[in-house]
């Protein structure tokens, strides 16, 4: 690899690649056409062969030639390099470029023999010193604290040096440096057409560097760099299989990566010359995010605009989720074991009119299988222009059916409400905590105010995927007022968030039943938990989704949005639902039937709750309860 981060190194790379390295010739500095008398003249040095041990002066000439470095006017940087010496301008140019060190006015030792360790420091200064911290190299003869230790470690990690002996592995840092060794080191140092740099000056790789920076400082879950790099490596392998032998490659580019482990990114850029670096950085970011939890995601500007407008769109009027064969939500991409399940059919929409039902599987659109697509891509096929048709193939009870629907503008409903038994039982279904298109809290408060005098309120949070914390605060405030409703835990602190607004119902009236299922997630779990803990609600149903994390929406410079898991949450009382979901007061399956049937069933199960199963099995009279296994 090549890892140049200094501005000097970046300036010289193009020249290095352009002029090449004639390191095998006995005279490195070639004669050039005549130039004006005042122009710098090349220093001509003759060598006896590859085994010749070099002086500092000779090594300096070779290094300057390799870097295509012009002489600098003599400033007297070294006491033993006089102004009239042939190599003064070269040595001072290397010093000003930070390649060779020493104190101002100190000695350079032009005629002293240079060691392998000393030249390793020069190469490191020219190409690598501003890069990443080195990993320990396995050389057995590099003393800890040696002046060349860091340089040797970086050169070993970069594949520039393999040492002087393989068994045992040794570097021989005190040995003299030969011409052949210089040729090898410098040839390796400039052989690749890209520069691996850190993210200090990311250039076109800014998106990758920014996203990694947020992960490194804000991500609340455990991860390793290898977790992030693995999807990139897998994607690169696919790209490499598609590249024909001898295909054109990108040349002379900077590859800014946040950690040395990300070098596959540079290889990807190398074999993808037709792809703009900024576009490739975005592709890499999508792969990196796959190494995080399923709730973290990157959305480009177009995708985010679609999400913002998702509360009002042209489509068929369903809410869906992807589910795998283990009944786990959120899988991707779609396949035979990861399918789209309809959670809700909006009343009055095209799907409702065509007879689609909750629990149907969407398996094809316009006759095309959805396998290989993401949920967003599949949703894009279902949506379209107003009054256009779309063929939806569903699977129900093992049989497939294709229906033709006419797309309409859909306004996603936040709530559904009903009363039963002369308004003694009120029902409110809360479908989402989404911010878009707005008005969720106001709509819910109107529903709740109308139900305040009922004897029983059934709050249906089934299939509610969660949403905005702000909406959660407003809805919880409608029950509890301005009291803590959730406790957030970030990497740096823990803090409570209070409800917003005045409570609309009393502490004990109406009775509150909260319905949940396996698709009740995030904010719906928070609300169920705090109403159970603080408001006396009775939670009925199935184990919830167990989403105990929250995401921050981070605006990026390219107008995209990075949704990153930055916090964990517990109820104000300290309950963490991550392992078992919201504690169920009554665990049960839900009946089929009408909404009125459901409301009556809830009242009955509250009045006559089922007996809790015991964990102990009664012993059979007359038998020894100790099972010996015999």
All residues at 6 or more sequence positions from 87 whose CB lies less than 8 Å from its CB, including other chains: 43, 57, 60, 61, 81, 110
Q: Residue 92: phi, psi to the nearest 5?
A: -70, -30
pLDDT score at 437: 62
DSSP, collapsed to helix, strand or coil, labels residue 324 as strand
Q: From the CA atom positions of the chain, what is the Rg in Å?
A: 35
All residues at 6 or more sequence positions from 168 whose CB lies less than 8 Å from its CB, including other chains: 140
All residues at 6 or more sequence positions from 210 whose CB lies less than 8 Å from its CB, including other chains: 202, 556, 557
> What is the helix (H) or strand (E) element at residue 417, kind and residue range?
strand 415-420
Question: Do the Cβ atoms of 91 and 60 come closer than 8 Å?
Answer: yes
Confidence of residue 381 (pLDDT cuts 50, 70, 90): very high
What are the strands, taking DSSP E only, across 90-221?
165-166, 169-170, 194-197
Distance between CA atoms of 469 and 567, rounded to whole angstroms?
12
Distance between CA atoms of 178 and 367, rounded to whole angstroms?
71
- Encode pLDDT of 455-473 as tens digits: 999 999 998 888 889 999 9
Q: Give the mean pLDDT of 226-250.
A: 92
Q: Enumerate helices (H) and strands (E) in the chain, giving the number of each.
A: 17, 23
> What is the helix (H) or strand (E) element at residue 512, kind and residue range?
strand 511-516
Measured in residues, the chain has a length of 630
* Cβ count within 10 A of residue 447: 22
The answer on pLDDT for 221 being more than 90 is: yes
* Predicted TM-score (pTM) of this structure: 0.65
pLDDT score at 126: 86
Question: Do the Cβ atoms of 257 and 196 come closer than 8 Å?
Answer: yes
Question: Do the Cβ atoms of 394 and 356 come closer than 8 Å?
Answer: yes
Question: Do the Cβ atoms of 455 and 511 come closer than 8 Å?
Answer: yes
The domains located in the chain, with CATH, are: 7-33+40-192 (no CATH), 197-292 (no CATH), 312-411 (2.30.42.10), 415-607 (3.90.226.10)
Query: What rounded mean pLDDT belongs to the chain?
Result: 84
Q: Residue 484: phi, psi to the nearest 5?
A: -60, 130
- Encode pLDDT of 148-189 as tens digits: 999 999 888 877 888 998 889 999 999 999 988 988 888 787
pLDDT score at 192: 58
Cα-based distances in Å from 314 to 297, 348, 387, 431: 24, 14, 9, 19
- Encode pLDDT of 55-97 as tens digits: 999 999 999 888 888 888 888 889 898 988 888 999 999 998 8
What are the strands, taking DSSP E only, across 556-621?
561-570, 586-587
DSSP, collapsed to helix, strand or coil, labels residue 494 as strand
């Amino acid at each position: 690899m090549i890892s140049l981060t200094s501005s000097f190194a970046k300036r010289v790379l193009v020249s290095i690649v352009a002029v090449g390295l004639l390191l095998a010739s006995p005279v490195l500095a070639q004669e050039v056409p005549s130039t004006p008398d005042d122009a710098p003249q090349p220093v001509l040095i003759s060598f006896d062969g590859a085994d010749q041990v070099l002086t500092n002066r000779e090594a300096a000439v070779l290094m300057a030639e390799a870097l295509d470095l012009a002489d600098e006017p003599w400033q007297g940087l070294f006491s033993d390099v006089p102004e009239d010496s042939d190599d003064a301008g070269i040595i001072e140019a290397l010093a000003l470029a930070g390649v060779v060190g020493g104190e101002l006015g100190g000695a350079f030792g032009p005629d002293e023999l240079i060691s392998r360790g000393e030249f390793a420091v020069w190469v490191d200064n020219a190409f690598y010193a501003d890069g990443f911290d080195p990993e320990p190299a396995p050389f057995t003869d590099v003393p800890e604290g040696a002046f060349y230790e860091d340089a040797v470690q970086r050169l070993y990690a970069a594949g520039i040096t393999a040492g002087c002996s393989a068994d045992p592995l040794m570097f021989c840092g005190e040995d003299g440096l030969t011409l052949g060794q210089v040729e090898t080191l410098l040839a390796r140092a400039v052989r690749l057409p890209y520069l691996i740099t850190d993210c200090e000056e990311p250039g076109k790789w800014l998106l990758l560097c920014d996203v990694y920076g947020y992960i490194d400082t804000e991500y609340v879950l455990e991860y390793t760099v290898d977790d992030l790099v693995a999807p990139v490596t897998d994607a690169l392998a696919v790209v490499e299989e598609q590249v024909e032998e001898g295909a054109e490659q990108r040349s002379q580019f900077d590859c800014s990566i946040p950690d040395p482990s990300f070098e596959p990114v540079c290889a990807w850029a190398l074999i993808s010359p037709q792809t703009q670096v900024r576009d490739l950085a975005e592709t890499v970011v999508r792969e990196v995010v796959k190494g995080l939890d399923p709730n973290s995601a990157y959305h480009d500007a177009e995708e985010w605009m679609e999400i913002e407008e998702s509360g009002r769109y042209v489509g068929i009027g369903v809410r869906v989720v992807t589910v795998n064969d283990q009944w786990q939500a959120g899988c991707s991409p779609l396949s035979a074991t990861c399918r789209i399940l309809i959670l809700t059919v909006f009343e009055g929409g095209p799907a409702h009119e065509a007879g689609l039902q909750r629990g149907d599987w969407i398996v094809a659109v316009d006759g095309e299988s959805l396998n290989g697509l993401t949920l967003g891509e599949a949703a894009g096929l279902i949506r379209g222009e107003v009054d256009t048709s779309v063929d939806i193939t569903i699977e129900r009870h093992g049989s497939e059916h294709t229906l033709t629907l006419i797309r309409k503008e859909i306004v996603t409903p936040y709530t559904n409400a009903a009363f039963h038994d002369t308004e003694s039982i009120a029902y409110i279904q809360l479908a989402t905590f989404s911010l878009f298109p707005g008005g969720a809290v106001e709509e819910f408060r109107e529903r709740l105010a109308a139900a305040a005098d009922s004897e029983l309120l059934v709050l249906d949070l089934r299939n509610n995927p969660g949403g905005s914390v702000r909406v959660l605060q407003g809805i919880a405030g409608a029950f509890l007022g301005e009291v803590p409703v959730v406790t957030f835990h970030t990497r740096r602190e823990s803090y409570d968030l209070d409800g917003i607004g005045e409570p609309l119902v009393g502490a004990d009236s109406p009775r509150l039943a909260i319905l949940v299922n396996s698709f009740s997630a995030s904010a719906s779990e928070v609300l169920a938990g705090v109403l159970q803990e603080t408001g006396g609600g009775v939670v009925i149903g199935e184990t919830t989704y167990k989403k105990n994390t929250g995401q921050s929406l981070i605006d990026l410079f390219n107008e995209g949005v990075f949704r990153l898991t930055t916090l964990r949450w517990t109820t104000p009382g300290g309950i963490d639902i991550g392992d078992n979901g919201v504690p169920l007061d009554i665990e049960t399956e839900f009946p089929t039937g009408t909404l009125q049937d459901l409301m009556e069933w809830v009242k009955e199960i509250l009045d006559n709750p089922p007996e809790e199963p015991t964990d102990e099995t009664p012993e059979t009279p007359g038998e020894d309860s100790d099972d010996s296994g015999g």
